[in-house]
Structure 1
Amino acid sequence: MRAGASQDAADRVAAALFPGSLAAAAASGPMLMEALAEVREFVAAGAAGAEEALLPAGEARFLAPTDPRVMRDFMSFEKHIINATRRLGGQPPETVYRLPVSYKGNPTTLLGQDDVVPWPSYTERMDYEMELGFVVGRGGRDLTPEEAVNALLGVTIFNDFSARDIQKEEMGGMLGPAKGKDFATGLGPWIVTLDELDLANLSMTVRVNGEERSNGVSGEMMWSPAELVAWASAGEQLHPGDLIGSGTVGEGCGLELGFFLGPGDTVELEVGGIGVLRNTIGQPEPRRWYPSPRQPSL
């Protein structure tokens, strides 16, 4: 405590600067970064009480590092788009070259470091997708790419878990993905601010059960992070803490490589300058109900 503040007053200030919600903290704008810088200096200086405030990483549980109101996931790596569409017997749609295309996911099923990925009863083809996650700081509406960069808080690792069989079924109905994606998204292990990273040169590596599956680099994106954020803000407000996925790096999913995950598999996504996001696939859940097909009536 500084300036003779009481414990109660210090607790109130700490709760205001570091609420339990990243979205709420990010809404404070520059105050958040200033407060974090003070904490770093406090610890580095070995100030009284600093050691008591630290918790070894091995003793902590890392939750998903943001709690977005809205999460969007784009397609921006051409190699992935070509590989995935060819595996499904098609060709890349012209739309992906004209616009950054995205879907809105389920922000209530975000998983953190070492969380077990649920296996929904409606799928037999579980997959991972290696992506970057861009976390919105101050937000905004109708941003230009130049403005969008300044609207970001930082970058994390994004695993877009996918149920490929139901995803294909749903998207054949001209909507989705929905159940094919909504059950889980891995995120973490933490957020790294933009000043610490070269967004055009981040290495992106996938390992399954310790075996390396693919390598890529962030610079292969057709649409820059700034362009993705700017387009996401077109006609709608981006809020602090919102999450924007980069789309899957080339060869960054099992669909492209011709294999799928099994129960108990461990997936590690490593991004240079950020770290490793690790999750284990759970056991298939028992099916309690599934829709019965209908016959056309017209």
Structure 2
Amino acid sequence: MDHFPSAWGRPRNDQNDMYNTYPIHQRPSSHTNTFTEGVQRTQQPIVTGTSVLAIQYKDGIMMAADNLASYGSLARFKDIQRLHPVGPSTVIGASGDMSDFQHLQHTLDALITDEFTQSDGEANALGPAEVHEYLSRVLYSRRSKMDPIWNALLVGGLQDGKRFLAYVDLLGTTYSAPSIATGYGAHIAIPLLRDVVDGHQDTLTEEDARQLLHDCMRVLYYRDARSLDKSNSFTASYSISLYQLATVTATGVSISDQIKLDTTWAFAEGLRGYGAQTQ
């Protein structure tokens, strides 16, 4: 029993001190206690971004991603840029955990600065192939330490006049293709992209590439529960999705402002099980 005057006669609680201010972790207990455990790393993404789309076209690389970072299933942060320039001729897009992506951004920026100061300016700057190789080594190393970086990354750019577009994920898996997508886009948007891009990347114009990504972002917004919707009314038949577009050409890297994607839900009124159509 507890002999402290304010709790006379009550059972002892060896998990807490007499004032119930902190756990007494020195005493034996069957309960886990964070005070006695070692360093713990995040093993589950918390704030995440969804799909990134990227294609090759005749003048370079084009990449698209929306501006939403979800807190679990909550559309929490609606102005997050998930496209990041790396050097004068490379851009990366990230889906997955946003804090890990920010860590990679700082790491790459420091790497580019070191290369710039140690070499002869931008003449010997890292190209997209080197950036992709570096990221693949970093992600595979962290995966081997059982502390993965929870991202799927697309790396695109121009190097010596040649287009480069490749993928790397948290396991260190890499591949290259004329059209690539991450997240839900790898299931929904890839067939649409391959139908237009694969085999035609040398003749695809910038206008056609831009329209293709615009249409794919609209499809993803309709189908992906983690896409950004700026409408505050769930009954509205008109809503807006915001995304950004990055292009890499011979003139350099360009990332657009937020692009409004106009959508309509009027067709849903005729679907069985929606609204008045219950039978």
The structure with the larger Rg is 2
Please give the TM-score of this superposition, normalised by the length of structure 1: 0.23
Report which structure shows greater RCO (CA 8 Å, sep ≥6): 1
Please give the TM-score of this superposition, normalised by the length of structure 2: 0.24
